[in-house]
Amino acid sequence: MKNNNRFQKPTLGIAGFGAFGQLAARHLGQHFEITAHDPSPSVAASAKRLGVTLTSLRSVARADVILIAAPVSSFETVVGEIAVACRPGALIVDVGSVKTIPSDIMRRRLPSHVDIVATHPLFGPQSAARGIEGLKIAVCPIRGSRHARLAAFLRKALGLTVLISTPEDHDKDAAIVQGLTHLIAKVLLRMGPLPTRMTTKSFDLLSEAVSMVQHDAPEVFEAIEKANPYAETVRRRFFDLAADLSAELETALRTPICDDSGR
């Protein structure tokens, strides 16, 4: 006789199946039945390899948990489409690099019968290449109380280090942590090719950091620098301090070096 009480996995719908949507599917496949939506036909092979069913955004929005991995440029449109189709009691989570503006969009556009948690995995496909255990994820409660259960799942099932934050505090830190990393990486890449043989350990670490972000989609840098309300202040301060340092160095180079006799 067929057992109708067998445990059924909860459903997860991923809106946006680019690099991070695929990374999420690799680590969440054993915990959820996954469907995904992405307008690009190029993701079909990856979806098949990961056992993910590609479907419409309306169908994805009917899942128990909806993961929004859409770029900033289409984020509000995607949220609006999810809003008209999501079921009461659904948990909606985003994974963008910026939290203040997306959190406000989700709070305004999504119906009151869903819970909302804004998250930012502080890693990507490059830094997660050897696994995600021990890596960090920011969790920002927006609506409802299920952020605690989500945080527990992320810790226990995925081995992540969970950092509870507000969207504003997240963005203040991210403007420095991500903003400066990507700015420095872009400058160094323009100076390339960089040395690979005659290097120090500190330079090797710097080169490793550059390699982790150099293949990020352009939308990531755009989100970090344009959508983060604190990024411009950090960026201007960084360049101002760099200019001050350059001026100090120019002054030092023009100053004669005296010998021991003071001449």
Question: Does the residue 257 lie in any domain?
Answer: no
Using one digit for the tens of pLDDT, what is the confidence trace for 129-188?
899 999 999 999 999 999 999 999 999 999 999 999 999 999 999 999 999 999 999 999
84 plus 174 within the same structural domain: no
**Please, what is the average pLDDT of the chain?**
93
What is the model's pLDDT at position 200?
Answer: 97
Residue of 102, 178, 77 whose CA lies nearest to 136: 178
Question: Does the residue 3 lie in any domain?
Answer: no
Q: Report the phi/psi class of residue 21: left, alpha or beta, with left for phi > 0 and alpha for psi in -120 to 50.
A: alpha
What is the model's pLDDT at position 259?
Answer: 60
Which of 136, 165, 194 marks a domain boundary? Answer: 165
* Angle of the 100-109 helix axis to the 72-83 helix axis, nearest 10: 20
Using one digit for the tens of pLDDT, what is the confidence trace for 8-45?
899 999 999 999 999 999 999 999 999 999 999 999 99
158 plus 181 within the same structural domain: no
With bands split at pLDDT 50, 70 and 90, how would you rate the model's confidence at 123?
A: very high
Q: Is 8 exposed, middle or buried (0-12, 13-18, 19+ CB in 10 A)?
A: exposed
32 plus 159 within the same structural domain: yes
228 plus 192 within the same structural domain: yes
Question: Does the residue 45 lie in any domain?
Answer: yes
Using one digit for the tens of pLDDT, what is the confidence trace for 188-231?
999 989 999 999 999 999 999 898 888 887 888 888 999 999 99
Question: Does the residue 125 lie in any domain?
Answer: yes
User: What would the mean pLDDT of 57-69 be, rounded to a whole number?
Assistant: 98
What is the model's pLDDT at position 263?
Answer: 56
Using an 8 Å Cβ cutoff, are 110 and 127 in contact? Answer: no
93 plus 38 within the same structural domain: yes
User: What would the mean pLDDT of 103-114 be, rounded to a whole number?
Assistant: 98
Cα–Cα distance measured from residue 230 to residue 72, given in angstroms and rounded to the nearest whole number: 16
Question: Does the residue 5 lie in any domain?
Answer: no
What is the model's pLDDT at position 6?
Answer: 57
242 plus 120 within the same structural domain: no
Residue numbers of the domain that contains 88 = 11-165
61 plus 24 within the same structural domain: yes
49 plus 156 within the same structural domain: yes
176 plus 158 within the same structural domain: no
- Identity of residue 59: S
28 plus 104 within the same structural domain: yes
Domain count, the chain: 2
The CATH number of residue 133's host domain is 3.40.50.720
Residue of 95, 137, 97, 90 whose CA lies nearest to 116: 90
Using an 8 Å Cβ cutoff, are 28 and 17 in contact? Answer: no
User: What would the mean pLDDT of 65-72 be, rounded to a whole number?
Assistant: 95
Question: Does the residue 260 lie in any domain?
Answer: no
With bands split at pLDDT 50, 70 and 90, how would you rate the model's confidence at 80?
A: very high
Residue of 31, 2, 33, 34 whose CA lies nearest to 17: 34
What is the model's pLDDT at position 2?
Answer: 45
Question: Does the residue 104 lie in any domain?
Answer: yes
With bands split at pLDDT 50, 70 and 90, how would you rate the model's confidence at 258?
A: low
pTM of the model: 0.87
